[in-house]
């Protein structure tokens, strides 16, 4: 598993409507694993349900918070799964690493990723989910940091 050491998210705001979150402005997410830089853009109007954490486990982890960086971990992962633009393994690795970069401890981040792998893996590559998240993001670049 790669470890992404640099996780950057430009600030964004959102509105809440019927348990969903509507993004108010475009924002960027960049991750690098000291080998490659991955750059993503998400568009205003994106609608998300945040992290799909069952209510029963809300004591363990939040599916949404006041921290835009934390919320972006779930937006990025959902987009990667919905678009199929990066491998499932890379999408899961980005989720775990970005949760760790948002100060989540290893146990919680690893448990979330275990649950995703075992219960949400069948959602990978579904180009049209209920919220059409794949239509609101794009992979701008993947390029080597060192040549």
pLDDT, tens digit only, all 147 positions of the chain: 456 678 899 999 999 999 999 999 999 999 988 888 999 999 999 999 998 777 777 778 788 899 999 999 999 999 998 888 989 889 999 999 999 988 889 998 988 888 888 877 667 766 556 788 889 999 998 888 776
The pTM is what? 0.89
Residue 96 in contact with residue 74, Cβ under 8 Å? no
Q: What are the DSSP E strand ranges found in the chain?
A: 6-9, 14-17, 20-23, 27-32, 36-42, 47-48, 137-144
Using CA atoms, how far residue 63 sits from 34, 52, 80, 90, 143, in Å, is 28, 6, 17, 21, 31
């Amino acid at each position: 598993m790669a470890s992404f050491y640099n996780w950057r998210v430009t600030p964004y705001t959102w509105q809440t409507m019927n348990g969903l979150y509507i993004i108010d402005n475009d924002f960027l997410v960049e991750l690098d694993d000291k080998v490659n830089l991955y750059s993503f853009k998400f568009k205003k109007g994106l609608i998300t349900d945040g992290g799909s954490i069952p209510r029963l486990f809300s004591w363990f982890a939040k599916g949404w918070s006041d921290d835009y960086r934390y919320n972006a971990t779930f937006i990025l992962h959902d987009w990667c799964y919905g678009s199929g633009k990066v491998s499932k393994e890379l999408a899961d690795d980005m989720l775990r690493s970005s949760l760790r970069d948002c100060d989540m401890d290893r146990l919680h981040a690893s448990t979330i990723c275990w649950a995703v792998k075992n219960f949400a893996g069948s959602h990978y590559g579904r180009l049209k989910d209920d919220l059409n998240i794949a239509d609101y993001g794009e992979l701008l670049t993947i390029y080597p940091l060192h040549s």
